[in-house]
A = this chain, B = another copy of it.
C-alpha cells in the first residue's frame, strides 16, 4: 500500500488527521536545522506522545521507516507533503472581509498551506471594490456567477452566524463542499457530507476562562 492508497482509506481518525500538520511542521524544522534522521522515540518526546502512537500514525500512511532504523527526515517530510496534498493549490473564496476576514485571508494568499485565494466577498456596499491581498472585494450577489465560472473548491466563512446558514445553502447549491468556518453556524449539522474545519476563537477563550477559574477556585480551597 503506497502513501496515496493509504491516505485514501477512510480509517484515519480525526486525531491522526489533526496531528499531520504538527508532524509536518516539526519535520520541516528538523530539516532546516540540518537534521537528517529521527526516530519514533524522538518524535514522541517532542510531540508529547508515545513512540508506539507515532509508529501507528505513520502506519496509517504506509510506514515511512523500518523499526529500529528510524526515519529519514527528507523522506518523511516528502511523504507528509504528498499525504497532505500540498502540491495541489486549492482555489478558495473568502466571505466576510471585516477585521477577522482580512487577517484570515493572509493565510490563504501566499500558497504556504496549499490554497490560492481567488475571490473576496462582502455584503457591505462600503467595501465594494476595496482591494485586499490583491483582490477587489465583490458583493455577495456576485457569488453565483463567480462560482459557476471559477468553481472554487473551498469557502472561508468569516461572517456572523445569522448570515452563515443562508450563505451555506447558496454555496452548497453552487457546488462548494468544503468550508473553513469561523462563524458559529454548525455547517456539519445541516450538511453532513460537507468537509468542515471550524475555528471558534470565542469558544477557545471561554474554555480557557473555565479552566483558569476552576484552578483558582481549587487553590482558594486548599
Contact = CB atoms under 8 A, between A and B. Distances in A.
Contacts of A150: none
A205 interface: yes
Contacts of A189: 46, 48
A17 B212 CA distance: 12
Contacts of A66: none
Interface SS of A by simple majority: helix
A194 to B, nearest CB: 10
Interface of A: 4, 7-8, 17-18, 20-22, 24-25, 46-48, 83-86, 88, 90, 99-100, 103-104, 106-108, 112-115, 153-154, 177-178, 180, 184, 186, 188-189, 195-197, 199-215, 217-218, 221
23 contacts: A7-B210, A8-B218, A20-B210, A21-B202, A22-B203, A25-B203, A83-B210, A85-B214, A86-B206, A88-B213, A99-B103, A107-B202, A107-B205, A112-B202, A113-B209, A114-B209, A115-B205, A153-B212, A154-B208, A154-B212, A178-B211, A195-B212, A197-B208
